[in-house]
């Protein structure tokens, strides 16, 4: 997991990528196993738990951030300065549910980069090849202008 946490700022319990399994100049493939003991399953849905679609999308977005960080490394830059900020989500299509215990394969492909934004397409499949979702999205790697710690 350190190969993932060395590249992006996400941490458990909001880290939804276990490992990078392949990469190319225009994309990256990652993996995630959904554990039955994850807290959100207690409420989504009790007695018939299903992985929330928003978390499946987040796994894709985190994989996109990993792709951008690896591209920065390849260009001789240091990843980890700033955060990946989601700028756009479109054309999300859910095809099949993901259940506790399922393993997914997450793929992202770069479509284009323009004005500091990287547009990508993402897909999730179960380990057996069953299609789960597709989504188009855009990310910018930025240092937030105002990042204040939470106050109690």
Q: Calculate the alpha carbon distances from 107 to 37, 44, 47, 93, 146 in Å.
A: 25, 25, 30, 15, 32
Catalytically annotated residues: 44
Cis peptide before 45 (omega within 30 of 0): yes
Q: Calculate the alpha carbon distances from 141 to 12, 66, 69, 100, 126 in Å.
A: 21, 11, 9, 32, 29
Q: Using the Cα atoms of residue 21, residue 66, residue 115 and residue 25 in order, give the sign of their dihedral.
A: negative
Distance CA 152, CA 36 (A): 32
């Amino acid at each position: 997991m350190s190969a993932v946490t060395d590249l992006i700022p996400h941490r458990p319990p909001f880290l939804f990528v276990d490992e990078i399994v392949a990469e190319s100049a225009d994309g990256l493939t990652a993996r995630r196993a959904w554990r039955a003991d994850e807290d959100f399953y207690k409420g989504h849905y009790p007695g018939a738990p299903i992985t929330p679609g928003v978390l499946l999308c987040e796994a894709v977005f985190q994989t996109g951030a990993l792709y951008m960080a690896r591209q920065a490394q390849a260009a001789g830059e240091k990843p980890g300065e700033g955060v990946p900020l989601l700028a756009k989500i479109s054309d999300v299509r859910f095809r099949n549910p993901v259940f506790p215990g399922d393993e997914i394969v997450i793929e992202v492909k770069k479509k284009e980069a323009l004005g500091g934004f990287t547009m990508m397409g993402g897909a999730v499949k179960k380990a057996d090849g069953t299609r789960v979702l597709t989504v188009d999205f855009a990310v910018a790697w930025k240092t937030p202008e105002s990042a204040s710690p939470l106050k109690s």
